[in-house]
Amino acid sequence: MDQLHLRMDSLSPHQHFYAGEFRHSIDEKNRITVPSRWRRDEAEEFILLPEANHLFLLVMSPEEFGGMSSAVESNQAVSAHDRRIFLRHLHSRAQHGIADRQGRLVLPEELCRKIGLKDEVALVGGRGRFEIWNLHRWKRAHEEETPTYQHVANVIGL
C-alpha cells in the first residue's frame, strides 16, 4: 500500500502550484471566484472532488484527475477488486466545474451543503490542486488543532 502513496506523490512533476490561502465569500448562487493568480486561461475547466468525509472540496485540472485515476488503475499493490471499487468511487464523486469569464466557479448545491460552504470560505493552495474549506473549520484545523492537522498533512503528504 505504501507504493500507492509514493506513486501519487510523484505523479505529475510539471504540476502547477497554487500558493497561498485566500478568504473569499461564496454567493447565493454558490459561485466562488478563483484567485486571479491561480487562473491560467479563460473558460477554465476544473474537476471538483469532495474529500472522503466531506471535510473540504478538492479542486484540480482534468489532467490532474486523469493522472490520479490512472495511477490508481495501474497500481499493482492493491487487488483488482479493490481498484475497481475505488475507481468507481473516485469517478462518481468527481464533478465537472467550469469557471465563467469573471473567473468564478459554480459549485453544485448539494456539495456546498455537505461540506458546509456558505458565506465565508477559505481557498487553500496546494500542488496540482487546491482546497475549499468552510472558513471556521479551516481556522480550527489550521490554527487550533495544529497537531491533528499535522497528522492529516502527513497522511495526505502535503
Contact positions vs a copy of itself (CB under 8 A): 1-2, 4-6, 8-10, 12, 15, 17-21, 37, 47, 49, 51-53, 58, 65-66, 69-70, 72-74, 78, 80, 82-89, 91-96, 124-127, 131, 142, 145-146, 148-150, 152-158
Which residue has 490532474 as its cell numbers?
64
Count of chain residues binding DNA (CB under 7 A): 21
Q: 123: closest CA among 46, 58, 30, 51?
A: 58
Which residue, 105, 134, 130, is CA-closest to 18? 130
Told to check if 118 binds DNA by CB under 7 A, we report: no
Nearer to DNA by Cβ, of 22 and 138: the residue is: 22
State the helix-helix crossing angle for 62-73 and 80-93, rounded to 10 degrees. Answer: 160
Does position 24 interact with DNA (CB under 7 A)? The reply is yes
Q: Provide the angle, in degrees to the nearest 10, between the axes of the packed helices 62-73 and 2-9.
A: 150
Written as one letter, the residue type at 60 is M
Classified as helix, coil or strand, 132 is: strand
Identify the residue among 11, 16, 21, 35 touching DNA (CB under 7 A): 35
Between 29 and 54, whose beta carbon lies closer to a copy of itself? 54
Catalog residues that contact DNA under the rule CB under 7 A.
22, 24-25, 27-29, 32-36, 43, 98, 100-104, 106, 108-109
